A and B are shown apart, each in its own frame.
Chain A
Amino acid sequence: MNRRLTASCIDINTPYCPCLLAETNHCVFCSHLRGQPVCDCNWGGVCILYEKQWQPKNVMAKNGGGPSRTDELGRIVRREPLGKDTYLLEVAVTEELARGLEKTGAFVFLRRPEDPQFFHFPVGVMKVEGRNLQMVVEAVGPKSNRVLEDQAAELLVRGPYYNGVLGQPWIDNITCGKILLISGGMGQAPALPIAAKLAANRNEVTAILAPGHVGSVFIEAELVGLGVKTHVVDSLRRTGFALVTGRLGDGAEKPDLIVSAGPDEQHYGVINAMQAAGLNLPMAATNNSTMCCGEGICGSCTRETQDNRIIRTCKVQTDFTQLL
């Protein structure tokens, strides 16, 4: 497997490229669109300067602010409790948005139609069925509570956004491999589409699942349906990570790729388990950065990498183990 994440920006080759960063001379990919005199890119199969050339010239004037996503009104068709303060929400959206979200790592921003824009927050898409999006939302604070309160009938849905999984190209490109998937609590929601993608590419997936905060394991039946071997543990910290180390130490079980879907502490736990087993495997991990705009502009999602680059994780792919 190619270990380098060459597709450095997740939005390349999508309708959202060139984006507002290109518009403002801060493209993370094209040196020209960063004010440099000559080409120095790592190639995404498309020349972004060219895409920019063909783009309508007055993009900033359009859409109230350029080539960014827009909010659309979605109707809540199902609301079902899954655990403590956690609900499955099914929201009907347009065909176009639904199709745009059928991609590993896809997420949306949600808010109540009557709330100001800064109430919106990122939520991963667990499943797309026809025009319905299934999402799981845990009420943890002001923004998430608002969408679950008062039996709201409609939500503003903004998307599609794509960088919900760091290491997404690995997940999309591996075939007939062995994968170890570790998922706890809310991480189960993004784990399901990841497992579905991996299974569709004839990979052998083993999942270690824990209820976490949410207090329930809600994707096991679906995973079994996909042909995934599941192991449910009470707690990753108490028993799960030991199980991971054990499997990594066993030559016959050694995976080609590890996927951690859950909070950052869980990702670090998995890295520790790998170190304990003396291995350094490629690892994909759900992206838990704080995101406010999703468009590379606000800067809330920036993280520093080991080679001292500041990256905007709402757009830029990186290897989670390279983050400080």
Chain B
Amino acid sequence: MVKVVVAGGGWSGCAAALSAAKAGAQVMMLERTDMLLGTGLVGGIYRNNGRFTAAEEAIAMGGGDLFVAMDANARHRGVNFPGHNHASFYDVSTMEPLVKKVLQHYGITIRMKTRIADIVKYGRKIQALVVDSGEVVDGDVFIDATGTSGPMGNCLKYGNGCAMCILRCPSFGPRVSITAKAQVKEIMGQKADGSYGAMSGSCKLNKDSLSGDLRQRLETEGVVVLSVPSNLARNSTLGKKACSQYAIAEYATNLVLIDTGHAKLMTSYFPLEDLRTIPGLENARYEDPYSGGVGNSVRYLGMAPCDNTLKVESLENLFCAGEKAAIIVGHTEAVITGLLAGNNAVRHCLDMKYLELPRALATGDFIAFAHDQMATKDGLRLRYTFSGSVYFERMKATLLYSTDRAEIGERVARTGLTDVYNRCLV
């Protein structure tokens, strides 16, 4: 029996666990908090711009379960907002239990409130993960899906301090990177000015705290754009954001609100007093991070050096996914890398050739492109996503961007990867 252990239960960990289970492995996933999805608990936007293509490729490859779950739980579909087309928003307040059910259906053992604090390594092989209680969890192959957010000290040093986000470090203990514990030197993402890390690009208001009228508009239309009084426009914060797809001028003069269950505000943080001067937001308060008036989580400190199969360099049996695998932003991005890492983890145990997604697919080109860019100095200062910025431009230029399901299905068929994630390898 092949035993795969996944560290971290964000979107990437969930996808990796799912994909390994579908490939026939016995899978255990360990998550330090009491909820799965990690930063996906406060996101919600998917299928916008090139993410549509990426999701459809994953579906054609047989890894669609999580996208199907998102679609089933969407509050809005086909919404356009500045710079973004055909977006869907899943309901962040009800997504998690649904994903847990999907994973349990595949027989995955999920252990919550189980934080990995260390590893046991022998030569180039990880033997086991050590939980902070001292318990040792062994496995044949491991997946580092611990993300890159926080912990508190990093948010303090590279951001405005802990703003009390969904990761809840004081309650559950800090994020610990498996890769770093294995003494592999990690890559640090940078801001435009060269300093380390990047601040998360959106915060969420409590919907009940909006004016009745605004709330109603938001719920019917999915998106509301409010203009920011000129004395409050904030061009200077643009370079610091994690989400370069929202670092466009329109977002400096407008406040974009999105209905994801919370009222998602497309800016890293916004001082509460200033926010409350905007009509409709007179009584606004933050939902996530709790101190969204002050700051937000800092991410991209510690990516694992890995190749395009997502195997971590200089270790035999560690794969990585999500933000751990490259400076990538997004649930969709986390899921497509998770699917690949999970499948390759099983291949490792069976001595099979690793899967590498071809560049003829948007998902394959994306992973390869992000890795190529990260080898350059300027590339470390950008973030990569199907939904905007450099990579979406590239998708359009190379004709990889498509919203035609049938065409995407054929594209996958031409690479011979149709249903590759549905095949039991064991």
Q: Is the CB of A47 within 8 A of B151?
A: yes
> A47 contacts which of B134, B152, B196, B301 (Cβ < 8 Å)?
B152
* B304 → chain A closest CB, angstroms: 14
Report Cα–Cα, A68/B288, bound state, in Å.
38
> A49–B156 contact, CB under 8 A?
yes
Give Cα A47–Cα B151 distance, bound, in whole angstroms.
9
Q: A40-B180, A43-B173, A43-B174 are in contact. Are A50 and B132 (CB under 8 A)?
A: no
CB distance from B364 to the nearest CB of A (A): 30
Contact A53 B180 (CB under 8 A): no
A185 to chain B, nearest CB (A): 34
Interface centre among B133, B153, B173 (most CB of A within 10 A): B153
- Output the least CB separation between A184 and chain B (Å): 32
Contact status of A39 and B153, CB under 8 A, knowing A4-B134, A47-B162, A47-B170: yes
Asked whether B174 lies within 8 Å of A2 as measured between CB atoms, the reply is no
Given contacts A42-B117, A43-B174, contact A50 B134 (CB under 8 A): no
Interface residue A6 (Cβ < 8 Å from any Cβ of B): yes
A36-62 near B? 1/0 per residue, CB < 8 Å: 011111110111111001000000000
A45 to B302 alpha-carbon distance, docked (Å): 22
Q: Flag if A47 contacts B132 (CB, 8 Å).
A: no
Q: Which of A43, A45, A50 contacts B156 (CB 8 A)?
A: A50
Report if B157 contacts A (CB, 8 A).
yes
- Residue of B whose beta carbon sits closest to that of A44: B173
Q: Say yes or no for B127: interface residue by CB 8 A criterion.
A: no
Residues of A within 8 A of B117 (CB): 42-43
Closest chain A residue, CB of each to CB of B171: A45
> CB < 8 Å: which of A4, A32, A42, A45 contacts B153?
A32
A45 to B151, CA, bound (A): 12
Chain B interface secondary structure, helix, strand, loop or mixed? mixed
- Cβ–Cβ < 8 Å partners of B389 in chain A: none
In the bound complex, how far is the Cα of B174 from the Cα of A31, in angstroms? 13
User: Judging by beta carbons under 8 Å apart, are B162 and A37 in contact?
Assistant: no
Contact present for B134 and A2 (CB under 8 Å): yes
- Pair B301/A50 contact, Cβ less than 8 Å: no
Find out whether the CB atom of B133 lies under 8 angstroms from the CB atom of A39: no
- Measured between beta carbons, the chain A residues less than 8 angstroms from B188 are 37-38
From residue A309, how far is it (CB to closest CB) to chain B in Å?
Answer: 15
* B180 and chain A: residue at smallest CB distance: A40
Given A2-B134, A38-B188, A39-B175: 10 more A-B contacts, CB < 8 Å: A38-B153, A38-B301, A39-B151, A41-B174, A42-B132, A43-B132, A47-B151, A48-B153, A50-B161, A53-B156
Query: When A and B form their complex, which 3 residue pairs have the shortest distance between CB atoms, in order from nearest?
Result: A49-B153, A47-B152, A39-B153
> 27 A-B residue contacts at CB 8 Å?
A2-B133, A31-B153, A32-B157, A37-B301, A38-B154, A38-B188, A38-B196, A39-B150, A39-B151, A39-B152, A39-B153, A39-B174, A39-B301, A41-B153, A41-B174, A42-B132, A43-B117, A46-B170, A47-B151, A47-B152, A47-B170, A49-B152, A49-B153, A49-B157, A50-B156, A50-B161, A50-B162
